[in-house]
């Protein structure tokens, strides 16, 4: 084997190199294929911790059968079955990680497929770069592209974000990671924290978790105000990790087939709606702006339409002030929306007017622009236009939708 190959110096079977944590609930239809893809990995020194979230179908029997089969070809089965009461994916995920024995933790979902070298490639990257906390990789869209073009384009976008800088600067658009593609160090989990329950109770005031979440997301202590209601637990976790300084990157090879079945939670559950994503990121975005926007809490928002304003509402509720809207719709330009003027893009001043502090002529702080548009291709076009006027992403502007 080549030098640096993680297969060459792997520990014995009793000490796995990777713990693959797989929360599952009533997954009998897809679980066998997911398990087969894991058992076919080129890196053999791993364990699978299947956290069964109170399944009522054949999921337990499938796990038992696969564990028995694996035990016949190994000294002990690499599949460990945690039987839990039904409590939701976040707590099942946390339980699996708590039971993990390896220094590297990988996430897997029961309706996806790992490509054969996934674990090997991710371990190799983490071992080669001690400063990285988390490694993802390119993913292959597993649905019908013609019928689910929006989701497929999201996968295309994810696959452009391979460096830490790209992941970090795009994290407020949507989740920059395919959750079942991640692998991270156990030390990162211990440093940055577990997933939070993705229900209203997870953000409720009055309890310890509510207090912590209210503080973390930028609301007053004990409020949990930025996340009152169901929210995507994976997105919130990675936002929290990035906000605490976690470094992330992706291997530039496909490692996962990200399937899109009709019952997938991200399609059907309220905690994965557009409103839930807006709630999840609002407090983290507010904290980021407080640290990076010289004019905080004042911003300009590019996008004055109804959907844009709806996505901005949780951020405004946390005290961020929209001074101006920018839009290209002639029906909106020159009008006011909720008392806020709507400007055309020709009214946006060059960034160099005020990035060094104050605009010398007007005495006003230069605008920090949040690009919050959902039309296909519009975000990229706007950022390109702003760049031509001297704006830098992360310095003078940021894409948030």
Task: Give the domain CATH number at 211.
Answer: 3.90.550.10
- Coil, helix or strand for 197? coil
Cα within 13 Å of Cα(222), Cβ side: 2
Q: Which of 91-95, 112-116, 172-176, 199-203 has the lowest mean pLDDT?
A: 199-203
108 within 8 A of 31, measured Cβ to Cβ: no
Closest CA to 389 of 352, 343, 344, 362: 352
Q: Which of 216-220, 319-323, 351-355 has the lowest mean pLDDT?
A: 216-220
Helix boundaries (H) for 74-148: 89-99, 118-128
Q: Which of 272, 302, 324 is the last residue of a domain?
A: 272
Could you read off the pLDDT of 23-40 as tens digits, one per residue? 999 999 999 999 999 999
Share of the chain above pLDDT 90, in %: 76
pTM: 0.86
Of the pLDDT bands very low, low, confident and very high (cuts 50, 70, 90), residue 218 is: very low
- Coil, helix or strand for 371? strand
306 and 268 part of one domain: no
Could you read off the pLDDT of 301-334 as tens digits, one per residue? 999 999 999 999 999 999 999 999 999 999 999 9
- The verdict on residue 9 lying in a domain is no
Facing residues of 50 across strands? 22, 81
Of the pLDDT bands very low, low, confident and very high (cuts 50, 70, 90), residue 343 is: very high
C-alpha–C-alpha distance, residues 373 and 171, integer Å: 15
248 and 317 part of one domain: no
- The whole-number pLDDT of residue 223 equals 31
List the CATH number of the domain containing 314: 3.40.50.20
192 and 43 part of one domain: yes
What are the Cα distances from residue 287, in Å, to 156, 170, 278, 293?
A: 28, 15, 14, 10
- The whole-number pLDDT of residue 374 equals 83
Q: List all residues 6 or more positions away from 356 whose beta carbon is below 8 Å from its beta carbon.
A: none
What is the extent of the structural domain holding 389?
293-399
173 within 8 A of 238, measured Cβ to Cβ: no
DSSP state letter for 270:
G
Q: Take residue 83 and report the two structure tokens written for it.
A: 């039987």
* Count of the separate structural domains present in the chain: 2
CB neighbours of residue 346 within 10 Å: 8
Cis peptide before 365 (omega within 30 of 0): no
152 within 8 A of 268, measured Cβ to Cβ: no
C-alpha–C-alpha distance, residues 47 and 40, integer Å: 13
Q: Which of 222, 243, 272 is the last residue of a domain?
A: 272
pLDDT exceeds 70 at position 3: no
- The verdict on residue 1 lying in a domain is no
177 within 8 A of 158, measured Cβ to Cβ: yes
138 and 218 part of one domain: yes
Cα within 13 Å of Cα(46), Cβ side: 30
pLDDT exceeds 60 at position 228: no
- The verdict on residue 277 lying in a domain is no
125 and 163 part of one domain: yes
C-alpha–C-alpha distance, residues 203 and 191, integer Å: 21
Q: Take residue 123 and report the two structure tokens written for it.
A: 């371990």
pLDDT exceeds 70 at position 125: yes
pLDDT exceeds 50 at position 12: no
Q: List all residues 6 or more positions away from 333 whose beta carbon is below 8 Å from its beta carbon.
A: 327, 342, 343, 344
Q: List all residues 6 or more positions away from 183 whose beta carbon is below 8 Å from its beta carbon.
A: 18, 104, 105, 106, 107, 119, 122, 123, 126, 134, 135, 136
152 and 48 part of one domain: yes
386 and 246 part of one domain: no
pLDDT exceeds 70 at position 112: yes
Of the pLDDT bands very low, low, confident and very high (cuts 50, 70, 90), residue 275 is: confident
| Mean of the per-residue pLDDT values of the chain | 87
Q: Which of 272, 302, 332 is the last residue of a domain?
A: 272
pLDDT exceeds 60 at position 226: no
């Amino acid at each position: 084997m080549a030098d640096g190959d993680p297969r060459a110096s792997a520990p014995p079977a009793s000490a796995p190199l990777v713990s693959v944590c797989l929360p599952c609930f009533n997954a009998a239809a897809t679980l066998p294929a997911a398990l087969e893809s894991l058992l076919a990995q080129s890196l053999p020194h791993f364990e699978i911790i299947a956290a069964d979230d109170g399944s009522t179908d054949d999921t337990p029997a499938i796990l038992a059968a696969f564990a028995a089969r694996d035990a016949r070809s190994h000294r002990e089965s690499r599949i460990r079955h945690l039987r839990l009461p039904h409590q939701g994916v976040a707590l099942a995920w946390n339980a699996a990680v708590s039971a993990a024995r390896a220094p590297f933790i990988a996430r897997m979902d029961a309706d996806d497929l790992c490509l054969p070298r996934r674990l090997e490639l991710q371990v190799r990257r983490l071992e080669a770069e001690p400063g990285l906390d988390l490694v993802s990789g390119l993913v292959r869209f597993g649905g019908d592209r013609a019928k689910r073009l929006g989701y497929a384009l999201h996968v295309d976008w994810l696959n452009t974000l391979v460096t830490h800088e790209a992941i970090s600067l795009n994290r407020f658009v949507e989740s920059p990671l395919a959750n079942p593609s991640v692998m991270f160090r156990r030390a990162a989990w211990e440093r940055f924290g577990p997933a939070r329950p993705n229900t209203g109770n997870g953000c409720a005031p009055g309890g310890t978790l509510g207090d912590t979440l209210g503080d973390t997301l930028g609301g007053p202590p004990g409020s949990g105000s930025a996340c009152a209601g169901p929210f995507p637990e994976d997105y919130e976790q990675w936002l929290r990790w990035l906000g605490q300084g976690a470094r992330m990157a992706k291997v530039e090879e496909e490692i996962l087939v990200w399937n899109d079945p009709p019952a997938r939670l991200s399609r059907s559950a309220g905690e994965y709606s557009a409103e839930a994503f807006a709630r999840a990121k609002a407090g983290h975005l507010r904290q980021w702006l407080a640290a990076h926007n010289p004019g905080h809490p004042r911003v300009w928002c590019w996008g004055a339409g109804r959907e844009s304003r709806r996505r901005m509402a949780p951020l405004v509720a946390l005290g961020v002030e929209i001074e101006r809207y920018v839009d290209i719709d002639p029906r909106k330009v020159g009008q006011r929306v909720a008392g806020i003027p709507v400007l055309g893009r020709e009214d946006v001043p060059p960034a160099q007017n005020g990035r060094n502090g104050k605009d010398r002529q007007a005495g006003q702080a230069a605008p920090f622009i949040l690009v919050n548009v959902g039309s296909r291709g519009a975000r990229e076009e706007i950022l390109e236009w702003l760049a031509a006027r001297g704006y830098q992403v992360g310095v003078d502007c940021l894409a948030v939708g």
